[in-house]
Amino acid sequence: MNKVLIVDDSSTMRKIIMRVLRQAEIAVDNVIEAGNGVEGLAALGANPDIGLILSDVNMPEMNGIDFVKAIRSSHTKEQLPVIMVTTEGGGAMVNTAMELGANGYVCKPFTPDSIRSALEPYVG
């Protein structure tokens, strides 16, 4: 796996996800952080070799729904998997994100196992 982009407005959650990636023994070369969808798109533009995105749903400026929509205008689900990491498990916003092209989702609170299961199809 090359680069992973973590998009979440909480720096605490970004740190937790990075720690869980290590605990789940998911091989990641480099992790890039962004605080919302706008920053996420900028990070993607600056790092075209990002291979996987983990994104929150509820964020200021640009939420996860609009972020996925923007990504899918240039990348297919196969080219760039996006996993939503959200408190809104099974809610309307997750359903919308899936319809717009998210590859999967993980509900907060989560265990390392649930992250590993969600990412397994996309990491080596």
Complex with other proteins: residue 75 or 108, whichever CB lies closer: 108
Closest CB 110 distance from other proteins, rounded Å: 7
Closest CB 62 distance from other proteins, rounded Å: 12
Phi/psi at 60 (5° precision): -75, 165
Closest CB 54 distance from other proteins, rounded Å: 15
Residues 6+ apart with CB under 8 A from 121: 81, 103
Complex with other proteins: residue 2 or 10, whichever CB lies closer: 10
Q: Write the DSSP assignment of 23-53 as a string of letters.
A: HTT---SEEEEESSHHHHHHHHHH-TTEEEE
Which tokens belong to 68?
A: 């996925």
Complex with other proteins: residue 57 or 80, whichever CB lies closer: 57
Residues that bind other proteins (CB under 8 A): 9-13, 15-16, 19, 58-60, 86-93, 107-111
